[in-house]
Amino acid sequence: MELLQNTYVDIIIRCILVYLFMLVALRIFGKKELSQLNPFDIILILLISNSVQNAMVGNNTSLSGGLAAAAVLFTMNFILKKLRQKSGLFDKIFSDKPEILIHNGKPDFKTLARLDIGSDELLEAMREHGVDHYSDVKLAMLEPDGNISIISGEKNLRQTHFKRRRSRKNLSPLQ
């Protein structure tokens, strides 16, 4: 019985360590919403899940070992979400911030390049908001959830949202 308990303690410790590693890795390499995943991202997630499975459960391939690992992952996720809600520092470390893309009709080329947002994608977002020219955009922001929000026009102020689909197009000079 003692060996069985040590096995589950081992699974719990391994799961916590892998969860924390994945959390840091996703923070460093970027996180996207599920609706923004492309086939490469899906393949990466599937391969990562397969590669860390043995790191979590070790040699224990039993149903109870898998359920223990899943329970630890759900518990870690729940705890970290609560910490994020209650701790400003924790939320600051693990949350993305909105990024200004266009301010008063002037695109921020450095930010657009850093975020890998091409002119085609930005123009598409503007068209979906009913805006034709950069000069008509008072403020365009990439929100933490991946949406591009656009506030246009001084007189008829309106706000709309564009769900960003990640593209790998190079940033070309904006029109």
Q: Each residue of 17-42: pLDDT tens digit?
A: 888 887 777 767 665 454 566 666 76
CA distance 126 to 103: 13
Q: Closest Cα partner for 102 from 66, 148, 140, 132? A: 140
Q: List phi, psi (to 5°) of 25.
A: -60, -45
pLDDT at residue 173 is higher than 50: no
CA distance 159 to 128: 11
Reported confidence tier of residue 101, pLDDT bands at 50, 70, 90:
very high
pLDDT of residue 82: 86
CB atoms near residue 154 (< 10 Å): 8
β-sheet with 99-103: strand ranges across: 106-107, 99-103, 137-142, 147-152, 158-163
Contacting residues for 41 by C-beta, under 8 A, at least 6 apart? 32, 166
Q: What are the Cα distances from residue 155, in Å, to 137, 138, 152, 163?
A: 12, 11, 9, 25
CA distance 163 to 158: 17
Amino acid of residue 120 = D
Confirm if 129 and 139 have CB atoms less than 8 A apart: no
pLDDT of residue 12: 86
pLDDT of residue 110: 93
DSSP 3-state assignment of 148?
strand
